[in-house]
Structure 1
Amino acid sequence: MPHQISLQPGGQTFTADDDQTVLEAALAAGLLLPYSCRDGACGACKGRLVSGEVRLGKHSDSALTAAEEAAGLTLFCRAHACSDLVLEARNVSRVGDIPIKKLPCRVQKLELAAPDVMVVELKLPASEPFQFHAGQYIDILLADGQRRSFSIANAPEGAEHIELHVRRIDGGRFTGQVFETMKVRDILRFEGPLGSFWLREDSDRPIVMVGGGTGFAPLKGIVEHCIAAGIRRPITLYWGARDRAGLYMDAVARGWETSLPGFRYIPVLSEAKADDAWTGRTGLVHAAVLADYADLSAHEVYACGAPAMIDVARASFTGERRLPADAFFADAFTFANPAD
C-alpha cells in the first residue's frame, strides 16, 4: 500500500510503495535528496524521522549509529515506509533534465599518478550525449552485476571523455583489474550520472573545499567547471593526504591559483615522511580548516573523502564554527568488500 511522505522544511510530498526505499520513491517522484553510496555505507542521505514508522534495512554502524537511530535519525537509502511519514531533509532539489543512462565507453588513457592512484580516461560514445554536473559520480558495471562507484574528475564543458581517479584497494576486483590487466581501448560499461554532490550556483557565498585522498577528484571537476563557466566565487581548497605522493595532482591544484581569481590551495599532510622534505601544513585536513576559520556562518563547504572525515567535519563545522547545516555538501567515499 502506498504511503504519503512529506518533507520538512521544504513541504514537498510524494508516495512510496512498500518495496521502495524513501530515496527510490523520492527519485521516482522527481525529487533529489542528498545521497551518495545508496547502500547504507556512507551516511550522506541521513535525515530525521519526524513522525511515522520505517523499516530500516542493512547498513553500516558508522553511517547510522545506534544513538543516532534512537534520536530519530534514519538513512533514506535504507528506510522503507511502514506508515505515512514526515521527514526532515535539507538540500532537496528537483531532478533536472539530465537523464541517467547506461552506456559503453572505451579506455583511452591510463596514467599512474601515484603508486596507488591511477588516472583513467574513458572515451564517451560519440553517438549518445552524456551530460552531468561537475562533482557527480558514475557506477562502473562489472560483468557479474556488481558495481563500483567513482567520482567524475573533469568538468562537463566540452567533455568527450570522463576522468576517474582510482585508488588501488588490496584484493579489490575492479581496482586490481585497473592496475594489473586493463589496457587502452578496453571496453567498459557504466551508469550515470549519479549523486547530489555538485556546486549550488544560486549562491554567492565563499566556498571552502575539503578533500581527503582521491576525494580530490570531484572537487577538481567543480573547480574546472568554475574556470570554464566564469564563476568567480572565492574558493579555498584544503587537500589532505598522508604523504607528498598522496597529493598526486599538486601542480594542477597550484596552477588554479593563477587561472581562477579568488582561489587558494592549502595542502595538508598527516604522516609526512622525512624524504618528503615537507614544510607545509600538517595534521588532519579538517583541523586545518578549524585553525583558519573561527566562523563559517557565511560560507558553503564542499567535502569529499572517507566517511569518518566527513562526519567529523560536518559536526565541527556546523557546531563550533556555526556553518548552516544546509550549507554543508558532502560525498563520502566507501569501498566495496573485495569479496563482493
Structure 2
Amino acid sequence: MSFNVTIQPSGRSFDVARDETVLAAAIRQGIGLPYGCRDGACGSCKSKLLGGRVIHGAHQSKALSEAEEAAGLILTCCATPQTDCSVEARSVPGLGEFPILKMPTRVLAISRPAADVAVLRMQLPANQSFQYRAGQYVEFLLRDGARRSYSMANAPGNVGEPPAIELHIRHMPGGKFTDVVFSTLKEKDILRMEGPFGSFFLREGDKPMVLLASGTGFAPIKALIEQLKASGSQRPAVLYWGARRKADLYMHDWALQAAAEMPGLRYVPVLSEPAADDAWSGRSGLVHQAVMADLPDLAGHEVYACGAPLMVDAAQRDFTAQCGLPAEAFFADAFTSELDKQTGA
C-alpha cells in the first residue's frame, strides 16, 4: 500500500510507501524539500499539512511543539501518511539532482588544528562518481547501524587528486564516533558513508550574504566560500565566525587569507569568552548579536547559518523579528549532536 503526497504550491506529487516518511520518499524520488537532520531534532523540514492525515514518529518538542502540531504543522522527516495528503512546503531547486550513494571511503589524512577538532580528508572511491553541492553533508554508517553526520568543508571543485572530501569533527567525549576519531582512527582506515544529504547550499541571486558560523559550523561555510571564489561571484558576503576562545577559531588564518583574496568577502571573528592569554582585541559577545550590531537592517540580505542549535535558533528568531530579514531568506544547518537529541537541548 502507498499514499500520494502533493506538494503545494509547486504541484509536485509522489508516492509514499507504507511506513515511510514523507521526507524519505521525497529524497528517494528526487523531490526537493527542505531538511536538515532527518531525525526530528532541527525543525528545518517543518511544513503545513493542508489535507489528509499523518502520524509522527519520535521528535523533539523544540522542532515541533504540541501547539504547532495542533495548528497543522508537521515534520516531514517524521511524518508517515495515513491517507493521501497535501503539504505546503518550499521547493528547493536543484535538490535531488545528484544521486545518494553508499560507498567505502579511505582516510587520507588526519590533522588536529585545535585540541578538540580533527580535520579528516576522506578519499572518494574511483569507481563511483560522488557529486554534491557545497554545504551538503554525508553520514558515516557505523557497525551497529547508527549514523553520524558531517558536512563537506571543501567545495566540489576543490576535491584534489586523488579526489577527497574534507570534514571537520569536534570531539564529543563519550561520543560513539568521535572517541574513535580522536583515539584509534588512522590513515588508510576504511569507513562506510552515504550521501549527499541536506538542503543547505547557496541559492542563486545577487543579494548580499551573511555567512554565520559557530564552532565547526564553519565547515560548510568554508565550502560555500570556496564555491563563491571558484565561480568568480561578485556577491558581497561577510563571514561572522563565533567561538569561545581564539584557539577555537581553528582555521583563522584560512579565513583571513580568503578575505584578503576575495574583494567581496569580509571576515569578522567573534569570541564569546576570550581568555586573558588570548590577547584578543577583536569583537566579543554572541556572534549573532555582532551581526545585528553591524547590520540592523537585513531586509535585503540572505543569511546562511551553521553551528550550535542555540545559535541558529537565536539568529533566526532575532534576525526576522528585529532586523527585517524575510523568513525565506534564512538558510540553516544546525549541528545537532546525539547528546542534544537525547536531552532535547
Match of 1:273 among 272, 275, 281: 275
Deviation at 1:104, TM superposition (A): 1.2
Distance (whole Å) between structure 1 residues aligned to residue 265 and residue 94 of structure 2: 30
Query: 1:169: which partner in 2?
Result: 172
Amino acid at match of 1:199: L
Given candidates 263, 271, 274, the residue that maps to 1:261 is 263
* TM-aligned CA distance change 1:263 to 1:161, over 3 Å: same
1:96 Cα deviation from its structure 2 partner: 4.5
Residue of structure 2 equivalent to 1:52: 52
1-side partners of 2:314 and 2:48: how far apart? Answer: 19
Residue of structure 1 equivalent to 2:155? 155
Comparing 58-67 with 263-272, which one deviates more in the overlay? 58-67
Q: C-alpha distance in 1, partners of 2:326/2:12?
A: 21
1:27 aligns to 2:14 (yes or no): no
Q: Give the structure 1 partner of residue 311 of structure 2.
A: 309
Q: Distance in 2 between matches of 1:286 and 1:304?
A: 11
Q: 2:215 aligns with which of 209, 213, 216?
A: 213
Q: Which amino acid aligns with 2:306?
A: C
Runs of at least 4 residues off by over 6 Å: none
Change over 3 Å in CA distance of 1:336–1:301 after alignment to 2: same
Distance in 2 (alpha carbons) for counterparts of 1:311 and 1:296 = 16
Structure 1 residue 339 displacement after superposition: 12
CA contact (8 A) 1:171 1:338 kept: no
Instruction: Give 1:43's aligned residue.
Output: 43
- Any conservation in 1 of the 2:32–2:96 contact (CA below 8 Å)? no
Cα distance, 1:158 vs. partner?
4.4
1:180 is aligned to: 183
Q: CA deviation at 1:338?
A: 11
Letter aligned with residue 175 of structure 1: T
Partner of residue 121, structure 1: 121
Counterpart Cα distance in 2 of 1:319 and 1:7: 28
Corresponding residue number in structure 2 for 1:335: 337
The Cα of 1:193 is off from its aligned counterpart by 1.0
Deviations 1:170-229 (A, max 9, x none): 1012101111111111111111111111111x2111111111110000000110111112
For the 8 Å contact 1:172–1:338, the answer to whether it is kept is no
Cα shift at 1:34: 1.1
What is the Cα-based RMSD across aligned positions, in Å? 1.9
Length-normalised TM-score, structure 1: 0.94
Unaligned runs of 5+ in 1: none
Aligned pairs for 1:48-197 within 5 A: 48-159=48-159, 160-197=163-200
Tell me if the contact between 2:7 and 2:88 (Cα under 8 Å) persists in the aligned partners.
yes
In structure 2, C-alpha distance between the alignment counterparts of 1:292 and 1:68, rounded to whole Å: 33
AA in 2 matched with 1:191: E
Q: Distance in 2 between matches of 1:242 and 1:137?
A: 25
Shift of 1:72: 2.8
Deviations 1:234-286 (A, max 9, x none): 11111111111111101101111121121011111111111111111111111
Q: Which amino acid aligns with 1:17?
A: A
Residue 65 of structure 1 aligns with an amino acid whose one-letter code is S
Do 2:95 and 2:199's aligned partners in 1 also have CA atoms closer than 8 Å? no
1:33 partner amino acid: L
- Aligned partner of 1:288 in structure 2 is 290
One-letter identity of the residue aligned with 1:120: L
- Whole-angstrom distance in 1 between the partners of 2:69 and 2:168: 34
Query: Any idea what SS the aligned residue of 2:103 has?
Result: strand
Is the Cα–Cα contact under 8 Å of residues 104 and 189 in structure 1 kept in the other structure?
yes
SS of the equivalent of 1:93 reads coil
Give the partner amino acid of 2:190: I
Partners of 1:312 and 1:13 in 2: CA distance:
34
Counterpart secondary structure, 1:254: helix
SS in 1 for 2:201: coil
Opposite residue 67 of structure 1, the aligned amino acid is: A
Q: Which amino acid aligns with 1:190?
A: M
- Separation of aligned partners in 1, 2:234 and 2:96: 24
Residue type at the aligned position of 1:121: R
- 3-state SS of paired residue (1:203): coil
1:244-255 aligned at under 5 Å gives the runs 244-255=246-257
- 1:224 alignment partner in structure 2: 226
SS at the partner of 2:39?
coil
Distance 1:218 1:280 in 2: 24
Q: How many residues align?
A: 339
Letter paired with 2:50: V
